[in-house]
Amino acid sequence: MSFQITSTAFSNGASIAKNYTCDGPDVSPSLNWTGAPAGTQSFALIADDPDAPAGTWVHWVLYNLPANATELPEGVKKQEQLPDGTLQGRNDFRKVGYNGPCPPPGKPHRYFFKLYALNAKLTLKAGATKNDVESAMKGHILAQTELMGKYGR
């Protein structure tokens, strides 16, 4: 079985509803995954927008999700550590947790939710950046999957 991420909020390549953006309540979408490889010790998730005017814009960074996790519910709290030990990093809004799509008017942007199955827990404190997480993951990625949604204004 291949490693896959899905959402009940939007399908791959489809539009992201306003509920998950700065034009709505800006809650994180539910995410579900299956097919994590044997040996997975933790997961990391990075959500970003490569179409942002200033370059790739980071919307969400999570890491050290437990190896037995198979989902993130809608509306994950914006706090550094979740009850299950998952840590959240800083996004490019300089905030901890999820901040959804908020593109300038024009062509819709693409938002990638990238999930990594890792063979270790990352030795990072809460509040790490995407770059911190990507550096710490080097040599520990067992598998990767992604889900892409679009949003425009």
Quote the CA–CA distance of 34 and 7 in Å, as a whole number.
12
Rg (CA), the chain: 14
What is the rounded average pLDDT of the residues 130-146?
Answer: 98
pLDDT in tens, 69-127: 999 999 999 999 999 999 999 999 999 999 999 999 999 999 999 999 999 999 999 99
Distance separating alpha carbons of residues 89 and 124, to the nearest angstrom: 10
pLDDT at position 139 is 98
pLDDT value of residue 10: 97
Q: Which helix (H) or strand (E) holds 144?
A: strand 141-151
User: 3-state SS of 41-95?
Assistant: CEEEEEEEECCCCCCCEEEEEEEEEECCCCEECCCCCCCCECCCCCEECECCCCC
CB-side neighbour CA atoms (13 Å) of 46: 19
CA distance 42 to 87: 11
Give the single-character DSSP code of 7: -
pLDDT single digits (tens) 9-59: 999 999 999 999 999 999 999 999 999 999 999 999 999 999 999 999 999
Domains of the chain: 4-151 (3.90.280.10)
pLDDT value for 1: 64
Q: Which pLDDT belongs to residue 82? A: 97
